[in-house]
Amino acid sequence: MSGRVAGLASVALSVIVGFAVFDDAQAFDDPRAPDAADRFGGSADASPVGHIPAQPSKALRSLIGDYGPGEELVSIYELGGRLHANGRDLDHVVLRARGKLKFAVAGTESSGKGPTLLAFQLDASGYCTAVVINGAQWPRRDVGAEVIKAIRSGLKADPAALRAAALAVAPPVEPAPKRPTDLVELAGIEPSIKFDIRYASANNFMGFPLYEVPDAFLQRPAAAALGRVASSLRAKGYGILVYDAYRPWFVTHMFWDATPPASRIFVADPAKGSRHNRGCAVDLTLYSLRTGQPEEMTSRYDEFSRRAYPDYIGGTSRERWLRDLLRREMESAGFTVYPEEWWHFDYNGWQDYGIGNETFAALRRSEAGQH
């Protein structure tokens, strides 16, 4: 990997130090709401009951994001229809408008040092590129995009060769599993469940397809529980959109082989296997039954940044409410949210299943033979 790619990866990693995905939880430090670790969802909003918060104006939403060089990020977020700031010396403070794109931190106007002032800067297209805090410019950051750029810059993107090499390797040997594998296809579980299997297309962080077909399977108890969640959400006006579920072990090996060594913190080690390999992990989001469109959450799917944490304070009240609704529904059915990914849920008892390596084609044949 080139020095330029390594440098970019280092910058991205310094911002989200300790953050890793695909079933390898680590400690992390995140700008969460006070006492977030002790409260459901960790956000400053109430738990998802009652009416969903209104989405703030487009102008307000355009300023929401993370700003700053290196590790020192300031999060600008919305709560109760007003902008707030957290990070650096700002501790979940309210921003009061003082003019077009100009704000002051509430409570500092009468301080002896003068008010803390923030001024947002837009480019010619109207995109907010930076915030100036008391004269210091803080660039807007998309850490998730920076990490993906670093990963893709060093990828070995030859799917056919990667697949052949991974299929030639055997999964790690483990003690006999406590429960037998019983994978079932999710397409027939509940009619409101929709699918956007990202690893069967190029629309994923690797940039090329890793699955031969866009299928989704889970162990039977987990699939039944997901059906109950879908039924409950349907009564509330939402559907489930599945991004990923069972992942054959050889695909985990493909991730590992394709990813440059400096970026392997972001993929599961095939020597250990993953919860997806065991058929007990599902990645998903909500979509509106009224519009058929996915709901906006606090981050993109598979985003490698702190915005992906299930208790990240940023974004809008509506996004956090929807994220917390999804979590509440899933946890009530026996799933547990993954600490660094709001979209990833593990079914209780995943440790009892062995690592699976069957291809989707083989699973389809097996299911067809049972009918």
Residues that are catalytic: 341
Q: How far apart are CA 57 and CA 47, in angstroms?
A: 23
Q: How far apart are CA 341 and CA 22, in angstroms?
A: 9
Residues 6 or more apart from 356 whose CB is under 8 A from it?
Answer: 181, 183, 246, 248, 249, 277, 278, 279
Q: How far apart are CA 320 and CA 39, in angstroms?
A: 14
Helix (H, G, I), strand (E, B) or coil at 14: helix
Helix (H, G, I), strand (E, B) or coil at 233: helix
Q: How far apart are CA 286 and CA 265, in angstroms?
A: 28
Joined together, the tokens standing for residue 294 give 């996915």
Count the Cβ atoms, other than its own, within 10 Å of residue 306: 27
Which position has the token pair 């700008």?
31
Q: How far apart are CA 172 and CA 319, in angstroms?
A: 40
Q: How many CA atoms lie within 13 A of 38 on its CB side?
A: 2
Residues 6 or more apart from 160 whose CB is under 8 A from it?
Answer: none
Q: How far apart are CA 320 and CA 287, in angstroms?
A: 15
CA-to-CA dists, residue 236 to 52, 83, 229, 278, angstroms: 11, 29, 11, 31
> Do 57 and 35 touch, CB atoms closer than 8 A?
no
Using left for φ > 0, alpha for ψ between -120 and 50, and beta otherwise, residue 99 falls in left
> Do 23 and 278 touch, CB atoms closer than 8 A?
no
Joined together, the tokens standing for residue 259 give 């990813």
